[in-house]
Amino acid sequence: MTTYVMVIDTKTCIGCGDCVVACKTENKVPEGLNRDWIVEATNGTYPNLTTEFRSERCNHCSNATCVTLCPTGASHKWQDTNIVLVDADKCTGCKACIAACPYDARLVMHPDGYIDKCTFCHHRVEKGLDPACVSSCPTKCMYFGSLDDPNSEVSQLLKTRKYKVLNPETGNEPHVYYLI
């Protein structure tokens, strides 16, 4: 199984939101819905403050509870990878996967009613390209690649830099990493 990961450097992210716009454009995400978003986390008390910007999305978890709890198999892993996709033809719109996601990263795609989410732009990955959000980042703070290749940029970054994932205690094994 190939494990695709996204590594985001919070030290160089400025929270501009280009990744969000790129995603909406590339994937034609309907108005009012977002597959990715930016969080500004502020720590401390004025004047001693630290700020961290995080571009967040589906974590494409190894142990994805949205896949295990889907009653029809619509939520599935793409071609023996950790990339979680939804097959609209199998989706009943029961919304179990939305409740099952500890990151609230899934959404109901209106008006059709099936469930939609970040796909890590698998249609681009297939062609050897980076996801739209990664390739559009003006500060080059986002990286995408396979964790199985020890020489990949993402593997090297995770070997040499301090990092974190969101809520690892959920047990979902998320794969969006934040360099801190």
Partner 1 sequence: MTEELMVTARANELIDPSLAIWTWEVAMYLFLGGLTAGVMVFAAAIALLKRDDEAPFAAFQLALLAPIVLSLGMTTLFLDLEHKLFVFRFYTSFQVTSPMSWGGWILILIYPVSMLQILSTVRRGFPVTVPYVDRFAMARAIVDWCEVHRRQISLVAIPSGVALGIYTGILLSAFSARPFWNSGVLGPLFLVSGLSTAAALVALLSRQKDEKHLFTRIDLVFIVVELALVGLFLINLATGSAPQIDALKSITGGPYTMVFWVLFVGIGLVIPLLLEMLEIRGMATSLAVVAPVLVLIGGYVLRQVMIDVGQESSWTHYETQYDTELIKRME
166 scored as a contact of partner 1 (CB under 8 A): yes
- Candidates 12, 25, 79, 95; binder of partner 1 (CB under 8 A) is 95
Name the residue among 171, 114, 161 with its Cα closest to residue 141: 161
44 scored as a contact of partner 1 (CB under 8 A): yes
92 scored as a contact of partner 1 (CB under 8 A): yes
Q: How far apart are CA 117 and CA 108, in angstroms?
A: 9
Q: Which residues pair with 9 in a beta bridge?
A: 179
Region near partner 1 per CB under 8 A, out of 40-48, 77-85, 122-130, 150-158: 40-48
- Candidates 1, 43, 80, 159; binder of partner 1 (CB under 8 A) is 43
Name the residue among 65, 62, 145 with its Cα closest to residue 97: 65
CA dihedral 16, 106, 77, 22 (to 10 degrees): -30
Q: What residues make contact with partner 1 under the rule CB under 8 A?
A: 15, 17, 20, 32-34, 37-46, 53, 65, 68-74, 88-96, 98-104, 106-108, 110, 112-115, 166-167, 169-171
